[in-house]
Amino acid sequence: MTETSVSTHILDTSVGRPAGAVPVELSVRTGVDDLWAPHGASTTDADGRCKDLPPLPEGTTHVRLDFAVEQYFTAPTISAEEQQDAPRARDSGAFFPEVAITFAVKPGEHYHVPLLLNPFGYSVYRGS
């Protein structure tokens, strides 16, 4: 049987670029009433991707990805060249200091869960 796995990436839609250096924690549980168990952690690379999250343990039914985005939004502003047409300074900080995404999984499948992020909102979807 194929392992059940999770991957993710973050795109900062306010600047049209990947969001690097964002800590991501992976937690799992084996039922709706079970407690969350930490299972892995990573940090997004320069391309906004986490490529090293561990396979899920057998029996996992739900996964939670916790993105610690506050430091990303409060870090010094990226250069004007990287921002394209975005504002030169971010004075908004982080309205959402963290983003927690919970989803159900089935054995043997791969789940790619991209986070589209901006200072005042976010969206996620099941990618491929």
Residue extents of the structural domains in the chain: 5-124
Q: Which CA distances in Å does 49 have to 2, 40, 43, 97?
A: 22, 15, 8, 19
pLDDT at residue 80 in the model? 45
pLDDT at residue 88 in the model? 47
Token look-up 């499948």 returns: 109
Architecture of domain 5-124: Sandwich (2.60)
pLDDT digits (tens, 9 = 90+) for 80-114: 455 555 554 555 677 899 999 999 999 999 999 99
The distance from CA 62 to its chain's CA centroid, rounded to whole angstroms, is 16
Look up the pTM and report it: 0.87
pLDDT digits (tens, 9 = 90+) for 40-57: 999 999 999 999 999 999
**What CA–CA distance (Å, rounded) separates 69 from 94?**
7
pLDDT digits (tens, 9 = 90+) for 54-76: 999 999 999 999 999 999 988 86
- Type of residue numbered 38: P
